[in-house]
Amino acid sequence: MTPSPQSQHRVGWVVDVQNDFMRPDGRLYVHDLFDARDAGAAQAAAAIVHSVEWMRRHCDVVVYTGDWHAYGDREIDTESPDATKGTYPPHCMGLSPEASERRGAALIAEIDPGPTTLVLPRDATEALARDVAQQAVAERRPVFIQKREFSVFEGNTGADAFVAALRAALGGFPEFVVCGVATDVCVKQAVEGLLDRGAPVRVIRDATWSLGLLSAARTFDQWEGRGARLTETARLDSPRD
């Protein structure tokens, strides 16, 4: 769905830009799993930082999502993880008792939204989700959504209510501008989940990075075929992008 020309509202949607995914020494550094030459998500860091800075200036609300795992979560496999089957070694262990593991779940310092951030815990009620959305819009405060699954809509019990309340507070049809990692896992789930809910979506291509599980070019084409707009950081201010 393409946003109405009259719509001026935007939501920045920053997917999983966390230490374990973005740092080369992270527990699940995002890089092409099938290409040893791939330098990985660090190559997209500058574009992501630029995108988030743009969002803070031009979006009504900036929302950050993040894996927030506990041992026992479906995708955590300590014995024989297999990305092609949707399981991974421990990463982004936000509910771990170990501080060193929790640090991996933190957003990278370059985009840390700071102490005013509202948090939507992964077991949020619909009532809490609506309250957080309304407060975020009224006070222009960032939001961090914790999730236990690749998809924020499956991994946080309040996510649907949050997005619905956010859209209502902004007039129904804000454009969601998306960046983050990984293109073929959590970004894919975010973009397609938003499109499934009828939201106008714009994806910043160079502010994403892939695990190589799917063709990035084909994925972008599929999103565009469903109505998403594609852009680059250098063209964020272009009226046609």
pLDDT at position 3, please?
42
Does 240 fall in a domain? no
Query: Tell me, what CATH number does 95's domain have?
Result: 3.40.50.850
Asked if residue 199 belongs to a domain, the reply is yes
Q: Is residue 5 part of a domain?
A: no
| Backbone φ and ψ of 240, nearest 5° | -90, -5
Quote the domain boundaries for residue 185.
10-235
Q: Give the pLDDT score at 239.
A: 61
Residue 195 falls within a domain, yes or no? Answer: yes
pLDDT at 8: 82
Rounded (5°) CA angle 180-69-162: 60
**pLDDT for the residue numbered 240:** 58
Please list the ranges in the chain whose pLDDT falls under 70.
Answer: 1-7, 239-241
> Does any domain span residue 175?
yes
Quick one: pLDDT at residue 241?
A: 58
> What's the pLDDT at 145?
98
Q: Residue 198 falls within a domain, yes or no?
A: yes
Assess if residue 184 is contained within a domain.
Answer: yes
Does residue 146 belong to any structural domain of this protein? Answer: yes
What's the structural domain count of the chain? 1
The predicted-structure confidence for 160-172, as pLDDT tens digits, reads as follows 999 999 999 998 7
For CA atoms 96, 101, 103, 104, the dihedral sign is negative
Q: What is the pLDDT of residue 1?
A: 40
